Structure 1
Amino acid sequence: MTAQVFIDGAAGTTGLEIADRLAGRADLSLIRLDDTRRKDPAARREALNGADAVILCLPDDAAREAVSLIDNPHTRVIDASTAHRVADGWTYGFPELEPDGAARVAEAKRVSNPGCYPTGFLALVRPLVVAGLLPPDAPITVNATSGYSGGGKAMIAAFEQADAPDATDTAFRLYGLSLGHKHVAEMQVHAGLTTAPLFAPAVARTYRGMIVQVPLPAAPPLEELRQALQEAYQGRPLVTVVEGEEAGAMSVVTIERQAGTDRLELLVFGNEARRQARLVACLDNLGKGAAGAAVQSLNLMLGLDELSGLRL
Protein backbone atom coordinates (compact mmCIF):
# COMPACT_ATOMS: atom_id res chain seq x y z
CA MET A 1 0.00 0.00 0.00
CA THR A 2 1.35 3.43 -0.91
CA ALA A 3 1.92 6.01 1.82
CA GLN A 4 -0.29 9.11 1.80
CA VAL A 5 1.68 12.39 1.97
CA PHE A 6 0.28 15.90 2.36
CA ILE A 7 2.40 19.01 1.73
CA ASP A 8 0.84 21.90 3.64
CA GLY A 9 2.12 24.99 1.88
CA ALA A 10 2.67 23.24 -1.44
CA ALA A 11 2.38 26.52 -3.39
CA GLY A 12 5.57 27.98 -1.90
CA THR A 13 9.11 27.61 -3.22
CA THR A 14 10.11 24.72 -0.93
CA GLY A 15 6.73 23.03 -1.26
CA LEU A 16 6.95 23.07 -5.05
CA GLU A 17 10.48 21.63 -4.92
CA ILE A 18 9.35 18.81 -2.63
CA ALA A 19 6.34 18.01 -4.81
CA ASP A 20 8.63 17.87 -7.84
CA ARG A 21 10.85 15.29 -6.12
CA LEU A 22 7.85 13.19 -5.08
CA ALA A 23 6.09 13.32 -8.44
CA GLY A 24 5.69 9.99 -10.19
CA ARG A 25 6.83 7.85 -7.29
CA ALA A 26 4.95 4.56 -7.06
CA ASP A 27 5.56 4.21 -3.31
CA LEU A 28 3.85 7.51 -2.41
CA SER A 29 0.56 9.23 -3.13
CA LEU A 30 0.13 12.97 -2.67
CA ILE A 31 -2.99 14.39 -1.03
CA ARG A 32 -3.74 17.59 -2.93
CA LEU A 33 -6.04 20.50 -2.15
CA ASP A 34 -7.06 22.82 -4.97
CA ASP A 35 -6.77 26.59 -4.63
CA THR A 36 -10.30 26.94 -3.29
CA ARG A 37 -9.65 24.50 -0.42
CA ARG A 38 -6.01 25.25 0.51
CA LYS A 39 -7.06 27.86 3.09
CA ASP A 40 -10.22 26.08 4.23
CA PRO A 41 -9.54 25.02 7.86
CA ALA A 42 -11.83 21.99 7.62
CA ALA A 43 -10.19 20.77 4.40
CA ARG A 44 -6.71 21.27 5.83
CA ARG A 45 -7.60 19.44 9.05
CA GLU A 46 -8.97 16.52 7.03
CA ALA A 47 -5.84 16.36 4.87
CA LEU A 48 -3.48 16.67 7.85
CA ASN A 49 -5.21 13.85 9.71
CA GLY A 50 -5.67 11.67 6.64
CA ALA A 51 -1.99 11.54 5.76
CA ASP A 52 0.64 9.06 6.83
CA ALA A 53 3.15 11.90 6.68
CA VAL A 54 2.79 15.66 6.49
CA ILE A 55 5.43 18.11 5.32
CA LEU A 56 4.85 21.68 6.53
CA CYS A 57 6.17 24.43 4.25
CA LEU A 58 4.66 27.31 6.17
CA PRO A 59 5.63 30.37 8.22
CA ASP A 60 6.41 29.53 11.86
CA ASP A 61 3.05 30.43 13.40
CA ALA A 62 1.13 28.64 10.66
CA ALA A 63 3.30 25.56 11.15
CA ARG A 64 2.52 25.52 14.88
CA GLU A 65 -1.16 25.87 14.06
CA ALA A 66 -1.00 22.98 11.59
CA VAL A 67 0.56 20.72 14.21
CA SER A 68 -2.23 21.62 16.62
CA LEU A 69 -4.81 20.49 14.04
CA ILE A 70 -3.45 16.94 13.99
CA ASP A 71 -5.49 14.97 16.50
CA ASN A 72 -4.39 11.39 15.85
CA PRO A 73 -1.27 9.41 16.87
CA HIS A 74 -0.67 8.10 13.35
CA THR A 75 0.27 11.13 11.26
CA ARG A 76 4.00 11.91 11.23
CA VAL A 77 5.24 15.44 10.61
CA ILE A 78 8.24 17.09 8.97
CA ASP A 79 8.31 20.84 9.63
CA ALA A 80 10.38 22.89 7.18
CA SER A 81 9.87 26.13 9.15
CA THR A 82 12.09 27.32 11.99
CA ALA A 83 9.31 26.80 14.56
CA HIS A 84 10.55 23.50 16.03
CA ARG A 85 14.27 23.28 15.26
CA VAL A 86 15.31 23.55 18.90
CA ALA A 87 11.99 22.47 20.43
CA ASP A 88 11.62 19.64 22.91
CA GLY A 89 10.02 16.53 21.47
CA TRP A 90 11.23 17.18 17.93
CA THR A 91 14.00 15.25 16.17
CA TYR A 92 16.45 17.29 14.13
CA GLY A 93 16.20 16.15 10.51
CA PHE A 94 19.90 15.96 9.63
CA PRO A 95 20.49 12.18 9.43
CA GLU A 96 24.25 12.50 8.91
CA LEU A 97 24.95 14.83 11.84
CA GLU A 98 25.18 12.16 14.55
CA PRO A 99 26.15 8.46 14.29
CA ASP A 100 22.57 7.40 15.09
CA GLY A 101 20.96 10.34 13.27
CA ALA A 102 19.32 8.26 10.53
CA ALA A 103 17.82 5.87 13.10
CA ARG A 104 16.48 8.79 15.14
CA VAL A 105 14.76 10.28 12.11
CA ALA A 106 13.38 6.90 11.04
CA GLU A 107 11.73 6.41 14.45
CA ALA A 108 10.52 9.98 14.95
CA LYS A 109 6.93 11.21 14.89
CA ARG A 110 7.97 14.86 14.68
CA VAL A 111 11.00 15.99 12.63
CA SER A 112 12.26 19.54 12.16
CA ASN A 113 13.90 20.14 8.79
CA PRO A 114 17.24 21.96 9.17
CA GLY A 115 17.81 25.42 7.79
CA CYS A 116 19.99 25.75 4.70
CA TYR A 117 22.75 27.80 6.31
CA PRO A 118 22.82 25.67 9.49
CA THR A 119 23.17 22.53 7.36
CA GLY A 120 26.49 23.73 5.97
CA PHE A 121 27.67 25.19 9.27
CA LEU A 122 26.79 22.16 11.37
CA ALA A 123 28.27 19.73 8.87
CA LEU A 124 31.60 21.52 9.25
CA VAL A 125 31.60 22.36 12.95
CA ARG A 126 29.80 19.57 14.82
CA PRO A 127 32.35 16.81 14.02
CA LEU A 128 35.21 19.08 15.07
CA VAL A 129 33.57 19.83 18.42
CA VAL A 130 32.96 16.10 18.99
CA ALA A 131 36.58 15.31 18.08
CA GLY A 132 37.92 17.97 20.46
CA LEU A 133 39.47 20.01 17.64
CA LEU A 134 37.18 22.95 18.39
CA PRO A 135 36.34 23.83 22.01
CA PRO A 136 32.61 24.39 22.68
CA ASP A 137 33.32 27.97 23.78
CA ALA A 138 35.33 28.86 20.67
CA PRO A 139 34.42 32.26 19.14
CA ILE A 140 33.25 31.15 15.69
CA THR A 141 32.29 33.23 12.68
CA VAL A 142 30.26 31.82 9.78
CA ASN A 143 30.16 33.70 6.49
CA ALA A 144 27.61 32.36 4.04
CA THR A 145 26.04 33.27 0.71
CA SER A 146 22.86 31.86 -0.81
CA GLY A 147 21.13 32.01 -4.13
CA TYR A 148 18.14 34.33 -4.04
CA SER A 149 15.58 31.52 -4.15
CA GLY A 150 16.36 31.02 -0.47
CA GLY A 151 14.32 34.14 0.27
CA GLY A 152 11.12 32.68 -1.18
CA LYS A 153 8.70 34.25 -3.64
CA ALA A 154 9.22 37.86 -2.51
CA MET A 155 12.99 37.75 -2.95
CA ILE A 156 12.71 35.85 -6.22
CA ALA A 157 10.43 38.60 -7.52
CA ALA A 158 12.83 41.29 -6.29
CA PHE A 159 15.70 39.79 -8.29
CA GLU A 160 13.69 38.77 -11.37
CA GLN A 161 10.92 41.35 -11.84
CA ALA A 162 11.71 44.99 -12.51
CA ASP A 163 8.26 46.08 -11.30
CA ALA A 164 8.43 44.17 -7.99
CA PRO A 165 8.04 46.31 -4.83
CA ASP A 166 11.61 45.57 -3.71
CA ALA A 167 13.13 45.17 -7.17
CA THR A 168 16.91 45.23 -7.24
CA ASP A 169 19.63 44.94 -9.84
CA THR A 170 22.40 44.29 -7.33
CA ALA A 171 24.81 41.40 -7.77
CA PHE A 172 25.42 40.79 -4.07
CA ARG A 173 24.10 42.08 -0.78
CA LEU A 174 24.56 41.50 2.94
CA TYR A 175 21.71 41.10 5.40
CA GLY A 176 21.15 39.99 8.99
CA LEU A 177 23.15 43.04 10.04
CA SER A 178 21.71 43.13 13.58
CA LEU A 179 23.31 39.72 14.25
CA GLY A 180 19.97 38.39 15.49
CA HIS A 181 19.21 35.94 12.69
CA LYS A 182 16.83 33.14 13.67
CA HIS A 183 19.27 30.47 12.47
CA VAL A 184 21.79 31.29 15.22
CA ALA A 185 20.06 29.32 18.00
CA GLU A 186 19.82 26.28 15.74
CA MET A 187 23.52 26.52 14.90
CA GLN A 188 24.60 26.85 18.51
CA VAL A 189 22.39 24.12 19.98
CA HIS A 190 23.05 21.43 17.40
CA ALA A 191 26.78 22.15 17.14
CA GLY A 192 27.11 21.77 20.90
CA LEU A 193 28.52 25.27 21.35
CA THR A 194 28.30 27.28 24.54
CA THR A 195 28.83 30.56 22.66
CA ALA A 196 26.61 31.74 19.83
CA PRO A 197 28.43 31.93 16.49
CA LEU A 198 28.63 35.24 14.67
CA PHE A 199 26.53 34.67 11.56
CA ALA A 200 27.12 36.88 8.50
CA PRO A 201 24.72 35.91 5.69
CA ALA A 202 24.51 37.32 2.17
CA VAL A 203 22.57 36.73 -1.04
CA ALA A 204 23.95 36.66 -4.58
CA ARG A 205 22.37 37.06 -8.00
CA THR A 206 22.11 33.37 -8.76
CA TYR A 207 18.87 31.42 -8.41
CA ARG A 208 20.20 28.51 -6.38
CA GLY A 209 23.38 27.37 -4.69
CA MET A 210 25.13 28.11 -1.41
CA ILE A 211 28.59 28.49 0.09
CA VAL A 212 29.07 28.40 3.87
CA GLN A 213 32.49 29.34 5.25
CA VAL A 214 33.91 28.99 8.76
CA PRO A 215 37.34 30.64 9.11
CA LEU A 216 39.64 29.33 11.84
CA PRO A 217 42.39 31.84 12.75
CA ALA A 218 44.18 29.39 15.10
CA ALA A 219 43.51 26.06 13.42
CA PRO A 220 44.66 22.52 14.14
CA PRO A 221 46.60 20.85 11.28
CA LEU A 222 44.54 20.75 8.10
CA GLU A 223 44.77 16.98 7.76
CA GLU A 224 43.38 16.52 11.27
CA LEU A 225 40.40 18.70 10.38
CA ARG A 226 39.85 16.81 7.13
CA GLN A 227 40.19 13.41 8.79
CA ALA A 228 37.64 14.30 11.48
CA LEU A 229 35.14 15.25 8.79
CA GLN A 230 35.84 12.13 6.73
CA GLU A 231 35.35 9.87 9.75
CA ALA A 232 32.09 11.62 10.68
CA TYR A 233 30.52 11.09 7.25
CA GLN A 234 32.06 7.78 6.21
CA GLY A 235 29.49 5.72 4.34
CA ARG A 236 26.99 8.61 4.05
CA PRO A 237 26.26 8.92 0.31
CA LEU A 238 25.06 12.53 0.23
CA VAL A 239 28.06 14.04 2.05
CA THR A 240 31.48 14.24 0.39
CA VAL A 241 34.70 15.46 1.98
CA VAL A 242 37.14 16.55 -0.72
CA GLU A 243 40.61 15.00 -0.42
CA GLY A 244 43.50 17.26 0.52
CA GLU A 245 45.34 16.95 -2.77
CA GLU A 246 42.25 17.89 -4.76
CA ALA A 247 41.43 20.81 -2.46
CA GLY A 248 45.02 22.02 -2.61
CA ALA A 249 44.85 22.20 -6.39
CA MET A 250 41.74 24.38 -6.37
CA SER A 251 41.98 28.13 -6.90
CA VAL A 252 38.27 29.03 -6.75
CA VAL A 253 35.01 27.63 -5.37
CA THR A 254 31.77 28.74 -7.01
CA ILE A 255 28.39 29.15 -5.35
CA GLU A 256 26.80 26.96 -8.05
CA ARG A 257 29.15 24.03 -7.33
CA GLN A 258 26.36 21.80 -5.92
CA ALA A 259 23.38 23.69 -7.36
CA GLY A 260 20.72 21.37 -8.71
CA THR A 261 21.74 18.47 -6.46
CA ASP A 262 20.83 17.19 -3.01
CA ARG A 263 24.48 16.70 -2.12
CA LEU A 264 26.63 18.39 0.52
CA GLU A 265 30.33 18.88 -0.22
CA LEU A 266 32.88 19.82 2.45
CA LEU A 267 36.32 21.29 1.81
CA VAL A 268 39.26 22.27 4.01
CA PHE A 269 41.64 24.98 2.83
CA GLY A 270 44.37 26.72 4.75
CA ASN A 271 47.90 27.86 5.41
CA GLU A 272 49.77 25.53 7.74
CA ALA A 273 52.58 28.02 8.43
CA ARG A 274 50.09 30.59 9.67
CA ARG A 275 47.87 28.01 11.37
CA GLN A 276 44.89 29.39 9.47
CA ALA A 277 42.07 27.39 7.88
CA ARG A 278 38.91 28.00 5.86
CA LEU A 279 36.24 25.34 6.21
CA VAL A 280 33.82 25.44 3.29
CA ALA A 281 30.49 23.71 2.65
CA CYS A 282 28.84 23.73 -0.78
CA LEU A 283 25.19 22.79 -1.17
CA ASP A 284 21.99 23.78 -2.92
CA ASN A 285 19.85 26.00 -0.69
CA LEU A 286 16.74 24.32 -2.12
CA GLY A 287 18.29 20.83 -2.20
CA LYS A 288 20.12 19.51 0.85
CA GLY A 289 19.28 22.89 2.38
CA ALA A 290 15.51 22.45 2.15
CA ALA A 291 13.46 20.17 -0.16
CA GLY A 292 16.05 17.43 -0.56
CA ALA A 293 16.52 17.19 3.21
CA ALA A 294 12.76 16.90 3.73
CA VAL A 295 12.45 14.11 1.16
CA GLN A 296 15.41 12.27 2.71
CA SER A 297 13.75 12.39 6.14
CA LEU A 298 10.41 11.37 4.64
CA ASN A 299 12.01 8.31 3.06
CA LEU A 300 13.58 7.28 6.37
CA MET A 301 10.37 7.82 8.34
CA LEU A 302 8.35 5.69 5.92
CA GLY A 303 10.93 2.91 5.70
CA LEU A 304 11.71 3.61 2.04
CA ASP A 305 15.00 3.91 0.15
CA GLU A 306 16.72 6.90 1.75
CA LEU A 307 17.86 8.29 -1.60
CA SER A 308 14.62 7.81 -3.51
CA GLY A 309 13.59 11.00 -5.33
CA LEU A 310 16.86 12.77 -4.58
CA ARG A 311 19.19 14.36 -7.11
CA LEU A 312 22.67 12.92 -6.88
Structure 2
Amino acid sequence: MATNQKIFPIIKEILFHMTTPTYLNALRAFEAAARHQSFSAAATELHVTSAAVGQQVRTLEAWLGVTLFHRASSGSTRLVPTDVAREALPDIREGFDRLRAGLERLKEGSLNTGLTVTVSPAFAAKWLLPRIERFQLAHPQTDVLLDTNLRPVDFVVQGVDVGVRYGAGQWPGLTASKLMDEEMYPVCAPGYSLLKKGRLPKGKLAEATLIHDLSMAADPAYPTWRTWLDAAGYVDINADHGLRINNSAAVLQAAIDRQGLALGRSVMVREDLAAGRLIRPFGETTCPLAFAYYVVHRPEVAELAKIKAFRDWLISEADA
Protein backbone atom coordinates (compact mmCIF):
# COMPACT_ATOMS: atom_id res chain seq x y z
CA MET A 1 0.00 0.00 0.00
CA ALA A 2 2.83 2.40 0.82
CA THR A 3 4.36 1.79 -2.59
CA ASN A 4 1.01 2.44 -4.31
CA GLN A 5 0.69 5.73 -2.43
CA LYS A 6 4.05 6.65 -3.89
CA ILE A 7 3.46 5.54 -7.47
CA PHE A 8 -0.03 6.95 -8.13
CA PRO A 9 0.83 10.65 -7.60
CA ILE A 10 3.83 10.24 -9.89
CA ILE A 11 1.64 8.66 -12.58
CA LYS A 12 -0.74 11.61 -12.36
CA GLU A 13 2.20 13.98 -12.62
CA ILE A 14 3.42 12.30 -15.79
CA LEU A 15 -0.02 12.21 -17.39
CA PHE A 16 -0.88 15.81 -16.66
CA HIS A 17 2.53 17.38 -17.36
CA MET A 18 3.07 16.83 -21.05
CA THR A 19 6.32 18.84 -20.87
CA THR A 20 8.12 15.75 -19.53
CA PRO A 21 8.32 13.59 -22.69
CA THR A 22 11.05 11.36 -21.27
CA TYR A 23 8.81 10.02 -18.51
CA LEU A 24 5.70 9.99 -20.69
CA ASN A 25 7.53 7.82 -23.24
CA ALA A 26 8.81 5.63 -20.42
CA LEU A 27 5.26 5.15 -19.16
CA ARG A 28 4.08 4.21 -22.68
CA ALA A 29 6.95 1.71 -22.94
CA PHE A 30 6.03 0.20 -19.57
CA GLU A 31 2.32 -0.14 -20.50
CA ALA A 32 3.11 -1.75 -23.87
CA ALA A 33 5.68 -4.12 -22.35
CA ALA A 34 3.21 -5.16 -19.63
CA ARG A 35 0.46 -5.78 -22.19
CA HIS A 36 2.68 -7.85 -24.49
CA GLN A 37 4.81 -9.30 -21.66
CA SER A 38 7.77 -8.66 -23.94
CA PHE A 39 10.18 -5.80 -24.68
CA SER A 40 10.53 -6.87 -28.32
CA ALA A 41 6.77 -6.96 -28.99
CA ALA A 42 6.36 -3.59 -27.29
CA ALA A 43 9.20 -2.23 -29.44
CA THR A 44 7.42 -3.36 -32.61
CA GLU A 45 4.24 -1.57 -31.54
CA LEU A 46 6.07 1.63 -30.59
CA HIS A 47 8.38 1.60 -33.63
CA VAL A 48 11.57 1.65 -31.54
CA THR A 49 14.21 -0.94 -30.65
CA SER A 50 13.84 -3.52 -27.91
CA ALA A 51 16.85 -2.00 -26.17
CA ALA A 52 15.14 1.40 -26.18
CA VAL A 53 12.02 -0.04 -24.50
CA GLY A 54 14.18 -1.73 -21.85
CA GLN A 55 16.04 1.50 -21.18
CA GLN A 56 12.81 3.48 -20.85
CA VAL A 57 11.40 0.96 -18.38
CA ARG A 58 14.63 1.08 -16.34
CA THR A 59 14.45 4.90 -16.36
CA LEU A 60 10.93 4.72 -14.97
CA GLU A 61 11.95 2.17 -12.33
CA ALA A 62 14.84 4.38 -11.24
CA TRP A 63 12.63 7.46 -10.96
CA LEU A 64 9.87 5.62 -9.07
CA GLY A 65 12.22 3.54 -6.95
CA VAL A 66 10.24 0.36 -7.61
CA THR A 67 10.71 -2.81 -9.66
CA LEU A 68 8.12 -3.14 -12.44
CA PHE A 69 8.94 -6.54 -13.98
CA HIS A 70 10.57 -9.84 -13.26
CA ARG A 71 11.27 -12.74 -15.62
CA ALA A 72 8.74 -15.59 -15.79
CA SER A 73 11.54 -18.10 -15.24
CA SER A 74 15.29 -18.40 -15.56
CA GLY A 75 16.29 -17.87 -19.18
CA SER A 76 12.77 -16.83 -20.23
CA THR A 77 12.15 -13.62 -22.19
CA ARG A 78 8.54 -13.33 -20.96
CA LEU A 79 8.02 -10.43 -18.59
CA VAL A 80 5.73 -10.65 -15.56
CA PRO A 81 4.59 -7.37 -13.98
CA THR A 82 5.23 -7.11 -10.27
CA ASP A 83 2.28 -6.71 -7.91
CA VAL A 84 2.63 -2.94 -7.72
CA ALA A 85 2.91 -2.68 -11.51
CA ARG A 86 -0.16 -4.84 -12.07
CA GLU A 87 -2.21 -2.73 -9.65
CA ALA A 88 -1.15 0.50 -11.32
CA LEU A 89 -1.80 -0.61 -14.93
CA PRO A 90 -5.59 0.04 -15.01
CA ASP A 91 -5.04 3.65 -13.88
CA ILE A 92 -2.27 4.16 -16.41
CA ARG A 93 -4.38 2.78 -19.26
CA GLU A 94 -7.34 4.89 -18.24
CA GLY A 95 -5.07 7.92 -18.19
CA PHE A 96 -3.82 7.27 -21.71
CA ASP A 97 -7.39 6.65 -22.93
CA ARG A 98 -8.46 9.99 -21.48
CA LEU A 99 -5.50 11.75 -23.03
CA ARG A 100 -6.31 10.29 -26.45
CA ALA A 101 -9.99 11.15 -26.12
CA GLY A 102 -9.13 14.69 -25.04
CA LEU A 103 -6.80 15.19 -27.97
CA GLU A 104 -9.44 13.85 -30.37
CA ARG A 105 -11.99 16.28 -28.95
CA LEU A 106 -9.54 19.12 -29.46
CA LYS A 107 -9.03 18.01 -33.05
CA GLU A 108 -12.79 17.68 -33.54
CA GLY A 109 -13.41 21.19 -32.24
CA SER A 110 -10.65 22.83 -34.25
CA LEU A 111 -11.10 24.67 -37.54
CA ASN A 112 -9.70 21.64 -39.35
CA THR A 113 -12.71 19.35 -39.84
CA GLY A 114 -10.94 17.00 -42.23
CA LEU A 115 -11.70 13.30 -42.28
CA THR A 116 -8.95 10.93 -43.44
CA VAL A 117 -10.39 7.73 -44.87
CA THR A 118 -8.32 4.71 -45.90
CA VAL A 119 -9.68 2.20 -48.44
CA SER A 120 -8.23 -0.04 -51.12
CA PRO A 121 -7.90 1.42 -54.65
CA ALA A 122 -10.45 -1.08 -55.98
CA PHE A 123 -13.05 -0.32 -53.28
CA ALA A 124 -12.58 3.39 -53.88
CA ALA A 125 -13.02 3.09 -57.64
CA LYS A 126 -15.86 0.58 -57.70
CA TRP A 127 -17.95 1.48 -54.65
CA LEU A 128 -16.98 4.56 -52.65
CA LEU A 129 -16.23 7.23 -55.26
CA PRO A 130 -19.55 6.86 -57.11
CA ARG A 131 -21.30 7.58 -53.78
CA ILE A 132 -19.04 9.97 -51.87
CA GLU A 133 -20.73 13.09 -53.21
CA ARG A 134 -23.83 12.22 -51.19
CA PHE A 135 -21.79 12.31 -47.97
CA GLN A 136 -20.22 15.63 -48.91
CA LEU A 137 -23.63 17.15 -49.67
CA ALA A 138 -24.96 15.96 -46.31
CA HIS A 139 -21.84 17.13 -44.42
CA PRO A 140 -20.41 20.12 -46.33
CA GLN A 141 -18.30 21.18 -43.32
CA THR A 142 -16.24 17.95 -43.49
CA ASP A 143 -13.40 17.73 -45.98
CA VAL A 144 -12.65 14.13 -46.94
CA LEU A 145 -9.07 13.03 -47.62
CA LEU A 146 -9.16 9.64 -49.32
CA ASP A 147 -6.06 7.47 -48.85
CA THR A 148 -6.12 4.56 -51.32
CA ASN A 149 -3.37 2.11 -50.56
CA LEU A 150 -2.94 -1.65 -50.68
CA ARG A 151 -0.45 -1.77 -47.81
CA PRO A 152 -1.61 -1.77 -44.16
CA VAL A 153 -1.62 1.64 -42.50
CA ASP A 154 -1.00 2.68 -38.90
CA PHE A 155 -4.04 4.75 -37.92
CA VAL A 156 -2.17 6.67 -35.21
CA VAL A 157 1.12 7.32 -37.02
CA GLN A 158 -0.53 8.28 -40.32
CA GLY A 159 -3.41 10.24 -38.81
CA VAL A 160 -6.17 8.04 -40.26
CA ASP A 161 -9.67 8.57 -38.85
CA VAL A 162 -11.67 5.73 -40.36
CA GLY A 163 -11.31 3.04 -43.00
CA VAL A 164 -12.99 0.21 -44.84
CA ARG A 165 -11.16 -3.10 -44.71
CA TYR A 166 -11.85 -6.46 -46.30
CA GLY A 167 -11.29 -9.59 -44.26
CA ALA A 168 -12.51 -11.69 -41.35
CA GLY A 169 -13.31 -8.72 -39.09
CA GLN A 170 -10.37 -8.74 -36.67
CA TRP A 171 -7.60 -6.14 -36.79
CA PRO A 172 -5.50 -5.46 -33.66
CA GLY A 173 -6.18 -2.08 -32.10
CA LEU A 174 -9.25 -1.32 -34.24
CA THR A 175 -13.01 -1.58 -33.75
CA ALA A 176 -14.72 -3.24 -36.72
CA SER A 177 -18.40 -2.96 -37.71
CA LYS A 178 -19.62 -5.16 -40.55
CA LEU A 179 -20.56 -3.15 -43.62
CA MET A 180 -21.38 -5.72 -46.32
CA ASP A 181 -21.23 -9.44 -46.94
CA GLU A 182 -20.11 -10.62 -50.34
CA GLU A 183 -20.46 -13.41 -52.89
CA MET A 184 -18.17 -14.41 -55.74
CA TYR A 185 -19.02 -15.55 -59.27
CA PRO A 186 -17.49 -15.42 -62.78
CA VAL A 187 -18.13 -12.38 -64.94
CA CYS A 188 -17.16 -11.33 -68.44
CA ALA A 189 -18.06 -8.76 -71.08
CA PRO A 190 -21.30 -9.42 -72.99
CA GLY A 191 -19.23 -9.43 -76.19
CA TYR A 192 -16.69 -12.01 -75.02
CA SER A 193 -15.87 -14.21 -78.00
CA LEU A 194 -16.55 -17.61 -76.39
CA LEU A 195 -20.11 -16.82 -75.32
CA LYS A 196 -23.16 -18.40 -76.88
CA LYS A 197 -26.42 -16.53 -76.23
CA GLY A 198 -24.92 -14.88 -73.15
CA ARG A 199 -23.71 -18.13 -71.60
CA LEU A 200 -20.41 -19.96 -71.66
CA PRO A 201 -20.81 -23.61 -72.72
CA LYS A 202 -18.91 -26.10 -70.58
CA GLY A 203 -17.00 -27.25 -73.65
CA LYS A 204 -15.63 -23.73 -74.12
CA LEU A 205 -14.60 -23.16 -70.50
CA ALA A 206 -11.25 -24.91 -70.98
CA GLU A 207 -10.44 -22.42 -73.78
CA ALA A 208 -11.28 -19.33 -71.73
CA THR A 209 -8.60 -17.03 -70.35
CA LEU A 210 -8.99 -16.97 -66.57
CA ILE A 211 -8.12 -13.60 -65.06
CA HIS A 212 -6.60 -14.09 -61.60
CA ASP A 213 -6.83 -11.43 -58.85
CA LEU A 214 -3.57 -11.41 -56.87
CA SER A 215 -4.52 -8.58 -54.51
CA MET A 216 -5.44 -11.10 -51.77
CA ALA A 217 -2.91 -13.77 -52.73
CA ALA A 218 -1.12 -13.49 -49.39
CA ASP A 219 -4.18 -14.89 -47.60
CA PRO A 220 -4.47 -18.67 -48.14
CA ALA A 221 -8.16 -18.58 -47.13
CA TYR A 222 -9.12 -16.31 -50.03
CA PRO A 223 -11.00 -18.18 -52.81
CA THR A 224 -9.28 -18.68 -56.16
CA TRP A 225 -10.39 -19.93 -59.55
CA ARG A 226 -9.59 -23.43 -58.31
CA THR A 227 -11.99 -22.91 -55.40
CA TRP A 228 -14.83 -21.78 -57.65
CA LEU A 229 -14.31 -24.41 -60.36
CA ASP A 230 -14.33 -27.23 -57.81
CA ALA A 231 -17.42 -25.85 -56.06
CA ALA A 232 -19.24 -25.51 -59.41
CA GLY A 233 -18.40 -29.05 -60.50
CA TYR A 234 -15.69 -28.21 -63.03
CA VAL A 235 -12.95 -30.24 -61.31
CA ASP A 236 -11.38 -31.25 -64.64
CA ILE A 237 -10.70 -27.66 -65.77
CA ASN A 238 -7.12 -26.40 -65.39
CA ALA A 239 -7.12 -23.30 -63.15
CA ASP A 240 -3.41 -22.48 -63.39
CA HIS A 241 -3.37 -20.71 -66.74
CA GLY A 242 -4.50 -17.18 -67.62
CA LEU A 243 -3.81 -13.53 -66.84
CA ARG A 244 -2.65 -12.43 -63.38
CA ILE A 245 -3.26 -8.90 -62.03
CA ASN A 246 -2.62 -7.53 -58.51
CA ASN A 247 -5.45 -4.96 -58.48
CA SER A 248 -9.13 -5.92 -58.21
CA ALA A 249 -10.38 -2.95 -60.22
CA ALA A 250 -7.91 -3.71 -63.01
CA VAL A 251 -9.07 -7.35 -63.02
CA LEU A 252 -12.62 -6.21 -63.71
CA GLN A 253 -11.47 -3.72 -66.33
CA ALA A 254 -9.65 -6.52 -68.14
CA ALA A 255 -12.89 -8.51 -68.16
CA ILE A 256 -14.82 -5.48 -69.46
CA ASP A 257 -12.20 -5.22 -72.23
CA ARG A 258 -12.98 -8.82 -73.28
CA GLN A 259 -9.66 -10.23 -72.09
CA GLY A 260 -11.28 -13.25 -70.40
CA LEU A 261 -13.28 -14.41 -67.38
CA ALA A 262 -12.83 -12.76 -63.98
CA LEU A 263 -14.00 -13.88 -60.56
CA GLY A 264 -16.19 -10.95 -59.60
CA ARG A 265 -16.91 -10.01 -55.98
CA SER A 266 -20.54 -8.94 -55.73
CA VAL A 267 -19.81 -5.57 -54.11
CA MET A 268 -17.24 -4.69 -56.76
CA VAL A 269 -19.22 -5.76 -59.82
CA ARG A 270 -22.66 -4.42 -58.83
CA GLU A 271 -22.46 -1.23 -60.89
CA ASP A 272 -20.85 -2.92 -63.92
CA LEU A 273 -23.55 -5.59 -63.97
CA ALA A 274 -26.31 -3.01 -63.66
CA ALA A 275 -24.81 -0.97 -66.51
CA GLY A 276 -24.40 -4.01 -68.75
CA ARG A 277 -20.62 -3.76 -68.93
CA LEU A 278 -20.38 -7.23 -67.39
CA ILE A 279 -22.62 -10.30 -67.33
CA ARG A 280 -22.69 -13.57 -65.42
CA PRO A 281 -22.02 -16.28 -68.03
CA PHE A 282 -22.90 -19.12 -65.62
CA GLY A 283 -26.19 -17.63 -64.45
CA GLU A 284 -26.82 -17.49 -60.73
CA THR A 285 -24.09 -20.00 -59.76
CA THR A 286 -22.23 -18.36 -56.89
CA CYS A 287 -19.70 -18.93 -54.12
CA PRO A 288 -20.34 -17.33 -50.69
CA LEU A 289 -17.29 -15.75 -49.07
CA ALA A 290 -16.18 -15.91 -45.44
CA PHE A 291 -14.69 -12.43 -45.83
CA ALA A 292 -16.71 -9.22 -45.67
CA TYR A 293 -16.26 -5.45 -45.69
CA TYR A 294 -15.91 -3.69 -42.32
CA VAL A 295 -15.83 -0.07 -41.17
CA VAL A 296 -12.80 0.25 -38.88
CA HIS A 297 -11.51 2.93 -36.52
CA ARG A 298 -9.70 3.23 -33.22
CA PRO A 299 -12.02 2.48 -30.26
CA GLU A 300 -11.26 5.76 -28.50
CA VAL A 301 -12.68 7.85 -31.39
CA ALA A 302 -15.94 5.90 -31.78
CA GLU A 303 -18.11 8.70 -30.37
CA LEU A 304 -16.57 11.58 -32.30
CA ALA A 305 -19.18 13.29 -34.45
CA LYS A 306 -17.33 13.00 -37.74
CA ILE A 307 -16.54 9.31 -37.19
CA LYS A 308 -20.15 8.49 -36.31
CA ALA A 309 -21.45 10.50 -39.27
CA PHE A 310 -19.23 8.73 -41.79
CA ARG A 311 -19.77 5.28 -40.28
CA ASP A 312 -23.55 5.73 -40.26
CA TRP A 313 -23.49 7.06 -43.81
CA LEU A 314 -21.47 4.05 -45.06
CA ILE A 315 -23.89 1.62 -43.42
CA SER A 316 -26.92 3.42 -44.87
CA GLU A 317 -25.37 3.30 -48.35
CA ALA A 318 -24.62 -0.41 -47.98
CA ASP A 319 -28.22 -1.08 -46.94
CA ALA A 320 -29.72 0.96 -49.79
Q: Give the alignment's TM-score, normalised by structure 1.
A: 0.28
- Per residue, is there more helix in 1 or in 2? 2
TM-score (norm 2): 0.27
